[in-house]
Chains A and B, each alone.
Chain A
């Protein structure tokens, strides 16, 4: 026994250099303040892994966790777990879980598409652990929250000790599959969403091969803001996931819809624009042809749903 303890101690000493790091290395940090987290990040940079819910990270490193020598666990930072509403915007902490997004009354009221997308993620266990910040920085092209965040004009707050606070839009943030502009010393702390007008409608559609625990073949977050006359389209955000290296907005839809009377829109034509403007790949979740076909169909369906909810209000 003594011998093996000796080995263990030796391992501990060498653990920064050896691959087999069985013991908790000196680098597990779970600070309570954002400032402390930033200090640790600036010290370790690329050498440290940030862990939030771990639902992506621990799967990626399932059989090679020993490769990670230093951990920054955000679990104790209360500030990152809050949803705060101000006069004209909503601030969502990066550690807010999918379950929180799904059940928060404020999110349901102002950002129903985001709430529904959160409810469609994985399983209850994954939603209880997984976080909005993790979903963003993981930057999977199929990340369920990404298209909705983009559709609601989300901005991401990035902090570091050396640079000034940065606010970047989703369009700027995502640069490729699993690639973002986030630098090693930067931490995503909050997601900031402008409060939408009362005349904002949304539709969320996720297509996958089963009803739960499924990585999307295609997602659509459509958000339409109407003008004060309740007839003219003021603004539209048509955002899709799983059809490109990053979540994307189809800007051509806005060009076709803005300033037009919603009742006179040609839904089929708008669906066709979405189909034409995406160039998805073949993979195990769906073929290119399937994704293009379905993109058109779900765009039409989303427009019909928004049409229906507007008509519903008229009746009331």
Chain B
């Protein structure tokens, strides 16, 4: 028999290393040849899309198309430290560093253009890679023409910036502090699923997610993070299990250590809450790890809703479900006999 259940879970997640750790990112922006703007950052894109995100941020600041942004990522000769792609920190930290470097470059564009135009920056306008005098828009210079002229002066059109926010060490007694993390991401998930009471197999049907991420710089990317993170959460809840016998792992490969396939992936309904209320770029907060955390408790709650048994250790395998159901029947019948 198949029984349906619904479960909910809410999480909060302080991201970045926090707790007084000297966590920071460095990035630079410069006018490159052939209509390109070059960003240097050591941020590693491990599939989460940080390079797309920082392209958008830099393009937004410099008022060019994202295609104009070229990136040198993670080269120990050519880039400076941007910290790890971990702790849900890259959009916030490197996003801010790139935003500030791009702003620094823009300031320099205004500065040198005002010399070229014998004008003041308030009288200048910026559009599509050009800077011009507002009173005579036909009198314009492209960023790249300007860069040539700056070069001729023996200078460079570029800027570097770092983002290095302060966090407090927690009080060793209480674990509390004024500002332990740069910001917190909040996620609530509601999960609908079906439990087959004959086989103990759980099918996750629908996942509703509300994520308070401050600002979605690339909404498709954020949804992708949420879906991918949730599928990992489903794996954690239902499949991922290291089986050890007498000190030896019996499933040391992906044939035996299971993670969900696309066939096991549910339908997603996602709402992004954008209050722009953090110190991240445009108010953005991280979503990497928060996307995974609510899934397992929501699934455990939904299973309880479906079959009335609580399973307290992950993963909730078909064996555990059948065993728990058997014990429940036993308990109920014994209880009934006792009456």
Contact = CB atoms under 8 A, between A and B. Distances in A.
Nearest to B260: A210
Contact of B258 (A207, A209, A286): A209
Given A209-B318, A210-B263, A290-B322, A284 B198 contact: no
A301 B1 CA distance: 10
A150 interface: no
Contacts of B319: 286-287, 289-290
B263 A212 contact: yes
A215 interface: yes
B264 A284 contact: no
A258 interface: no
A156 B201 CA distance: 35
Contact of A290 (B255, B260, B318): B318
Interface stretch (A95-103, A225-233, A291-299): A291-299
Given A284-B251, A284-B256, A290-B318, A207 B263 contact: no
B113 to A, nearest CB: 57
Contact of B199 (A123, A212, A287, A297): A297
Nearest to A59: B255
B317 interface: yes
Nearest to B325: A293
B139 interface: no
B250 interface: yes
Contacts, number: 52
A207 B199 contact: yes
Interface string B240-256: 00010000001100011
A207 B251 contact: no
A3 to B, nearest CB: 35
B14 interface: no
Nearest to B262: A212
Given A284-B250, A287-B319, A210 B264 contact: yes
Interface in A151-203: none
A300 B196 CA distance: 14
Contacts of A298: 198-199
B23 to A, nearest CB: 38
Given A294-B198, A294-B199, A301-B198, A214 B322 contact: no
B200 to A, nearest CB: 7
Contacts of B239: 209-210
Interface string A274-289: 0000000001101101
B243 A284 contact: yes
Given A207-B199, A301-B198, A214 B318 contact: no
B261 A210 contact: yes
A213 interface: yes
Nearest to A217: B318
Interface in B294-328: 317-319, 322-323, 326
A84 B141 CA distance: 76
Contacts of B198: 294, 297-298, 300-301
A211 interface: yes
6 contacts: A212-B261, A213-B261, A214-B258, A215-B255, A286-B318, A294-B322
Task: Name the 10 nearest CB pairs between A and B, nearest first.
Answer: A297-B198, A211-B263, A212-B263, A290-B319, A212-B261, A284-B256, A284-B251, A210-B264, A284-B243, A284-B250
Given A213-B261, A283-B250, A286-B318, 14 more contacts: A207-B199, A207-B201, A210-B258, A210-B260, A210-B261, A210-B264, A211-B261, A211-B263, A212-B262, A287-B319, A289-B319, A293-B326, A298-B198, A301-B198
